[in-house]
Amino acid sequence: MPAAHAVELPRIFADGMVVQRDQPVQVWGQAAPGARVVVAFADRDGTAHADASGHWSLELPALPAGGPHVMRIDDGAGARVLQDVLVGDVWLASGQSNMEWPIAQSADPEGEIARATDPQIRHFKIPKSWAGTPQAQLAGGEWVASSPQAAGKFSAVAHFFARELRKVTGVPIGIIDSTWGGSRIEAWMDAPSQGLDEKALAQQASTLRAQDEQALARTRRNLARWPDLPVDDAGWQSAGTDASAWTPIKVPVLWEATGWNGMDGVAWYRTTFTLTAEEAAAGVTLGVGRIDDSDTTWVNGTQVGQTHMQYNLPRRYTVPASALHAGVNHVAVRVSDFGGGGGIHGDAAEVFVQPQGAAPRTLADWSFRPSSVSVALVDDKNQHPTLLYNAMIHPLQPYALRGVIWYQGESNANTVADALKYRTQFPEMIQQWRRQWQAPELPFLWAQLANFSSGVDQGDQSPWAVLRESQSATLSLPATAQVVTIDIGNPADIHPLNKQDVGKRLALAARHVAYGESMVYHGPVHTQAQFSDGVATLAFDAGASALAVRGDGTRVHGFALAGADRVFHPAEAALVDGGVVVRSDEVKTPVALRYGWSDNPADADLINAAGLPASPFRTDAW
């Protein structure tokens, strides 16, 4: 047992940690009031005295990359000894799900996991946590060296970024993963930067906790009817499964809204439909709605469909005659929910059975049973101002960083108004973090939103395009860079699997911004537009690389022109004399131009010779 007043350290200080090279090493913690604390690390040492509240801090001289070292922290009551400490570069990786997304669910997971053999890449994953006021201590986390046994859970973008930096720097790379899928930027900012009342926010958080306790109590009461959880669910797909102890559930609606708030894991749905002999012999189409996150679906014990991590995709499965019979047929759906909402949701019309040549029939009278679940109500806290900053960013300060990589914005692109607001929020957050780390030019690199068919853009109104524009505008801050990803997204999946190229492009940006290399690190950036003689002539900063078109050729796609009527029409564009000339037969006198101006600009193909894409832009402010 540790001594009663043994020194307490921030959780980021632990075995296997990576300390930032070439910067003073800040060490802090809690001890008995007045205690003398001595820190010894790599032939350096320092002394501090705890104040009346027990807080102490000190600074050790900067160190070159290397290790492993031992850090000893002794307050005279009980020493802490941290083993296997490396000195290298520490990067904070933050944002929402595309930064959180693990290697195991990205492209080539088996190969990437097998290649994750470099123990000098280390990850510290901060658990999802929230608080109404800034916290001194993280809720958890540990440093984990990269290995095939561990890497599947690492942030894919952050790991591929670290791997690229290891190749060019040769120094240990530490990644602090502070991410939460679906989070809005407001949650990552403090109260003063948003002009909010800190007392009111603390009271709001207290109210949220009370509401959570009520919701969790209901979920636990519902789960109490199955005291055997977790249970082996092998065979539950069988038509003969006894579901008499299962509970009725409304479909389609997320299970959180039906008495299962805060539940994540695996649960089953069952229903039936009736066919004539002729209908069974012809086969049917089965719709089981949208499923958050993954499902396997059976009819009469025969698997008829499976979809992985597509929370917003309507499931429509073809059921062959061999799986059917005249009379009552049994449907079983095994749902795996990895966080956030769970279960069958969407429109009622998406839940049906449709015999050949007949109208769809509604599937009703569903029953429900969890098989392996956990209960913790944190899912909506990523929508509230300050809550994630308080628990997942503030406790890190002032741990020295080489820089920040950021991938977020999808949750702030629901409306054009939201996306415009991001133009002030994003630079304010960057400057807030820099102030708090006392690093006014802390490198800050981000991934611009990828192409995705969100369904919220209409005509010339594209919230995602406006948010990309807000991200681009933030490049006015020093020591920043943006990687454009409109060529490597997936229109049907908000979580594109290609995280390798995102990591590589962020590493290119880091090599320039953080490490001072002179190199091509971004794609073409629009600098000037001239409208005359019925055409638009555009100039670009191509990042010290010539303009090109993805897939070769000189014709460029993704442009639109508008005249004084403000109606945009698709335009023809070509590379001419190091620039782009754009024209449209529909617009005789163009006054405005847009490029890649949609949520899913899949046809936008302007790149530079290094293969890096141009960012979407517009010349108007309509």
CATH number, domain 18-87:
2.60.40
Cβ count near 532 (within 10 Å): 9
Give the β-pairing of 351-355 and 361-362: antiparallel
The one-letter amino acid at 464: W
CB 498 within 8 A of CB 506: no
The yes-or-no verdict on residue 345 having pLDDT over 80 is yes
In this structure, CATH architecture of domain 222-375: Sandwich (2.60)
> What are residue 490's DSSP bridge partners?
493
Q: 613 pairs with which residues across the strands?
A: 607
Q: Which residues pair with 66 in a beta bridge?
A: 87
Write the secondary structure of 81-122 as one string of H (helix), E (strand) and C (coil). Answer: EEEEEEEEEEEEEEECHHHHCEHHHCCCHHHHHHHCCCCCEE
Quote the mean pLDDT of the chain.
94
Tracing tokens 């010349």 back to the chain, one arrives at: 619
Main-chain phi, psi angles of 68, to 5 degrees: -75, 145
Read off the pLDDT band of 377 (50, 70, 90): low
The pLDDT of residue 201 is 87
pLDDT value, residue 1: 35
What are phi and psi for residue 584, nearest 5 degrees?
-150, 130
Tokens for 128, please give them: 């999802």
Q: How far apart are CA 209 and CA 224, in angstroms?
A: 22
Residue 541's Cα: distance from chain center in Å?
30
Dihedral sign of CA atoms 200, 201, 205, 208 in order? positive
Separation between Cα atoms, residue 219 and residue 231, nearest integer Å:
18
Q: What pLDDT is stored for residue 152 in this prediction?
A: 96
pLDDT at residue number 2: 40
Cα separation, 185 vs 413, whole angstroms: 11
Q: pLDDT tens, 285-319?
A: 999 999 998 999 999 999 999 998 788 789 999 99
The pair phi, psi for residue 166, each rounded to 5°, is -60, -40
Q: pLDDT confidence of 378, banded at 50, 70, 90?
A: low
The C-alpha atoms of residue 188 and residue 375 are separated, in whole angstroms, by 24
The C-alpha atoms of residue 447 and residue 160 are separated, in whole angstroms, by 14
**Could you tell me the residue ranges of all domains in the chain?**
18-87, 89-191+386-513, 222-375, 525-618
Tell me the residue type at 534.
G
Q: In degrees to the nearest 10, what's the CA dihedral of 518, 521, 523, 528? A: -40
Tokens of 26: 């800040």
Q: What superfamily does domain 89-191+386-513 belong to in CATH?
A: SGNH hydrolase (3.40.50.1110)
Residue-wise pLDDT for 148-172, tens only, equals: 999 999 999 999 999 999 999 999 9
Say which residue the tokens 């300390």 belong to: 19
In tens, the pLDDT along 555-608 reads 999 999 999 999 999 999 999 999 999 999 999 999 999 999 999 998 999 999
- Strands 351-355, 284-292: pairing is antiparallel
**Token pair of 32 as six digits:** 């008995």
The amino acid sitting at 133 is T
Q: Examine the pLDDT at 354 and tell me if it is beyond 90.
A: yes
pLDDT at residue 604 in the model: 96
Summarize pLDDT for 219-252 with one digit per residue, the tens.
Answer: 899 999 999 899 999 999 999 999 999 999 999 9
N- to C-terminal Cα separation, the chain: 66
What are residue 73's DSSP bridge partners? 39, 80
| pLDDT tens track for 422-441 | 999 999 999 999 999 999 99
SS3 527: strand
Q: What pLDDT score was predicted for residue 208?
A: 83
Inter-helix orientation angle 156-169/500-513, to 10°: 50
Is residue 107 within 8 Å of 101, Cβ to Cβ?
no
What's the whole-number mean pLDDT along residues 396-409?
98
**119-142 per-position pLDDT tens digit:** 999 999 999 998 889 999 999 999
Question: 384-396 pLDDT, tens per residue?
Answer: 899 999 999 999 9
Q: pLDDT tens for residues 506-554?
A: 999 999 999 999 999 999 999 999 999 999 999 999 888 999 999 877 8
The residue among 620, 599, 594 whose CA lies nearest residue 463 is 599
- 4, pLDDT greater than 70: no
Q: Is the peptide bond before 68 cis (omega within 30 degrees of 0)?
A: yes
**CB 417, CB 456: distance < 8 Å:** no
For 441-498, how does the pLDDT look when each residue is reduced to its tens digit (9 = 90+)? 999 999 999 999 888 888 778 999 999 999 999 999 999 999 999 999 999 888 999 9
